[in-house]
Amino acid sequence: MSLLSRIKSKTDQSMTEQVQAVIGPPSKDNHEQKEQVATSKQETVTKSVVPKKRNDKQLAFKELLHKNILQEIKEGQDVEELIPDIDQMAMELMKEDDSFRSVDRKKVVEEMINDLTGFGPINPLLLDEDVTEVMVNGPTHVYCERKGKIILTDVTFRDNEHVMAVIEKIVAPIGRRIDESSPMVDARLPDGSRVNAIIPPLALNGPTITIRKFAKDPFGISDLVSFGTLTDKMAIFLDACVKARLNIFVSGGTGSGKTTTLNVLSNFIPNDERIVTIEDAAELQLGQEHVVSLESRPPNIEGKGAITIRDLVRNSLRMRPDRVVIGEVRGAEALDMLQAMNTGHDGSLATGHSNSPRDMIARLETMVLLAGVELPVKAIREQISGAIDLIIQQSRLKDGSRKIVSITEVQGLEGDVIVLQDIFTFEQNGLDEQGKVIGSLVPTGVRPKFYEQLQSSGIELPGNVFFRDGEWGQ
Ligand SMILES: Nc1ncnc2c1ncn2[C@@H]1O[C@H](COP(=O)(O)OP(=O)(O)O)[C@@H](O)[C@H]1O
Ligand SMILES: [Mg+2]
């Protein structure tokens, strides 16, 4: 049977089977459930996120309660031991002073406990599973990201010192500090969430905290398909590309979902391969057993002791990896990565910050130059086009949804130019009533040059993956 007729003979039936093999059985019900839960949670929270004026009585009462706790605490006693008594204390204070009658005691006690044990006023946001990001711009402007949308919350801190106390609480356990001489700090919460804090005089709004919450249950391929980030055809295609050891680059802006997609792709790697992951702050969560996770280290206060992504990439090549997964390539490590990809370390995966596949290539060229090796542009382009097979471009659309907007093959070098060919592109057909983007990812009709590589790795892919539905006579 010729290749062409073999492809043609693949029916939609086998497509469905392959979809199930890659993304599991249709999880629509499940997803609907998730959506329902999310919506009902959102309703309850939306009520409380409308900013309202703080009740001064409430603040005064909280201060009084705080003073009381400080008086009660005995020397050497852990403040957490007092928690069971706080409500009782509050009740007594209310009895003593009638003017506090209108105060919502439960709320004040809850806030107090959050201050003492957790991370203060932002604790409820950290515990809320629908919130993916928390942003504190000084004491009175606390935002969060919920379902891709950024919302101003009614959470407030007392003052700058209160925000500073929370930052200190976050950074102290990991041996970092924040003060005027080191006014910026990166840290991680015990659950893995990433934290950045920057304080005055650098931050003009007051102490500023940005928390990217760690997904407890990271998105899988079926989640991304149900969110409309990619289609099931593309999921099959990408699974095949990872298994066939293509070198894949996920490109996109900040927060476009690159790391999430990288995580999903990495989970396509067969379980018997040794995977080394390299990141600035460990975010990837792989399901395989044989994974070595490496994390770079910033310089210490004297500016010494830094271990860069580049150092780790170089080191990883001496660790007998079957696969190297690099969280984000943003500097000189690009050269080492490309060299590794060109010298037998295929099947590598990485992400990079850029707005289009063409832009990603241009940025990689610049990054290679940062490595301080004098290479003519043509040689750099040879390295790039020889190393990278596929660029997945990801984007956060206006409606907050994250989508893969193109999957592009790096075909090679023609003269001085790197030839890029889109395999799938996003076609937007408009907006629905809620302002959500309607559109879908469609194959461009071009079969990638590496199709043979997929086949020679024993991967059977229905040829109609690369064609619009109905375009193949069935
Ligand atoms: N496909 C997606 N659909 C919806 N939300 C997503 C998707 N991918 C990522 N997210 C959410 O968007 C935020 C940013 O994702 P991340 O992968 O860290 O982006 P990046 O690495 O590009 O900065 C996270 O909160 C994540 O849960
Ligand atoms: Mg990322």
Q: Residues 368-383: pLDDT tens digits?
A: 999 988 899 999 999 9
Predicted local confidence at residue 414, as pLDDT: 94
Instruction: Compare 58 and 393 and report the one with higher pLDDT.
Output: 393
352 lines ligand 1 (CB under 6 A): no
Predicted local confidence at residue 153, as pLDDT: 95
- Residue 391, domain member (yes or no): yes
Question: Taking Cα atoms as reference points, which of 351, 354, 358 lies closest to residue 420?
Answer: 358
Q: Containing domain of residue 115, as a range?
A: 50-212
* Strand partners of residue 428: 439
Q: Of all protein residues, whose CA lies closest to atom 8 belonging to ligand 1?
A: 257
Q: Which two tokens stand for residue 49?
A: 């996120």
pLDDT at 267 over 60: yes
Same domain, yes or no: 272 and 161: no
The rounded Å distance from CA 466 to ligand 2 centre is: 29
Same domain, yes or no: 204 and 223: no
At 49 the three-state DSSP class reads helix
The rounded Å distance from CA 466 to ligand 1 centre is: 26
- Residue 474, domain member (yes or no): no
- Residue 471, domain member (yes or no): no
- Spatial distance between the Cα atoms of 17 and 28, rounded to a whole number of angstroms: 16
What contacts 24+ positions apart, CB below 8 Å, involve 216-223? 216/129, 216/191, 218/260, 218/263, 218/285, 219/260, 219/263, 219/264, 220/23, 220/24, 220/264, 220/267, 221/22, 221/23, 221/24, 221/264, 221/267, 221/268, 222/23, 222/24, 222/27, 222/31, 223/31
Same domain, yes or no: 95 and 179: yes
Q: Of all protein residues, whose CA lies closest to atom 10 belonging to ligand 1?
A: 257
- Spatial distance between the Cα atoms of 188 and 453, rounded to a whole number of angstroms: 41
Same domain, yes or no: 334 and 458: yes
- Residue 239, domain member (yes or no): yes
Question: Taking Cα atoms as reference points, which of 391, 423, 449 lies closest to residue 233?
Answer: 423
Over the chain, what is the mean pLDDT?
84
Side chain identity, residue 363: R
> Of 212, 235, 252, which closes a domain?
212
Same domain, yes or no: 206 and 224: no
> Of 161, 182, 212, which closes a domain?
212
Q: Of all protein residues, whose CA lies closest to atom 25 belonging to ligand 1?
A: 132
Q: Of all protein residues, whose CA lies closest to atom 16 belonging to ligand 1?
A: 257
pLDDT at 345 over 50: yes
Same domain, yes or no: 120 and 191: yes
How much of the chain, in percent, has pLDDT values that exceed 90?
Answer: 52
- Residue 44, domain member (yes or no): no
- CATH code, domain carrying 450: 3.40.50.300
339 lines ligand 1 (CB under 6 A): no
Element (H, E) at 191: none
The rounded Å distance from CA 164 to ligand 2 centre is: 26
Domain tally for the chain?
2
Predicted local confidence at residue 282, as pLDDT: 84
Same domain, yes or no: 174 and 235: no
Q: Which two tokens stand for residue 345?
A: 């370390």
Same domain, yes or no: 318 and 349: yes
Q: Which two tokens stand for residue 76?
A: 């050497």
For 144-179, the pLDDT digits (tens) are 999 878 999 999 998 999 999 999 989 888 777 888
The rounded Å distance from CA 259 to ligand 2 centre is: 4
> Of 212, 235, 265, which closes a domain?
212
Least confident among 100-104, 264-268, 467-471: 467-471
- CATH code, domain carrying 118: 3.30.450.380
Same domain, yes or no: 115 and 257: no
Ligand 1 atom showing the smallest separation from residue 258 Cα = 22
260 lines ligand 1 (CB under 6 A): yes
Q: Of all protein residues, whose CA lies closest to atom 14 belonging to ligand 1?
A: 255
224 lines ligand 1 (CB under 6 A): yes
Same domain, yes or no: 14 and 62: no
For 269-320, the pLDDT digits (tens) are 999 999 999 998 888 999 999 999 999 988 877 778 899 999 999 999 999 9
Q: Which ligand ends up closest to the CA of 262? A: 1
- Residue 32, domain member (yes or no): yes
pLDDT at 473 over 60: no
Same domain, yes or no: 171 and 285: no
- Residue 473, domain member (yes or no): no
258 lines ligand 1 (CB under 6 A): yes
Ligand 1 atom showing the smallest separation from residue 254 Cα = 23
pTM for the full predicted model:
0.72
464 lines ligand 1 (CB under 6 A): no
397 lines ligand 1 (CB under 6 A): no
Predicted local confidence at residue 14, as pLDDT: 52
The rounded Å distance from CA 30 to ligand 2 centre is: 27
Same domain, yes or no: 355 and 282: yes
- Residue 45, domain member (yes or no): no
Q: Of all protein residues, whose CA lies closest to atom 9 belonging to ligand 1?
A: 257
For 106-135, the pLDDT digits (tens) are 988 888 887 777 888 998 899 888 999 999
The rounded Å distance from CA 138 to ligand 2 centre is: 25
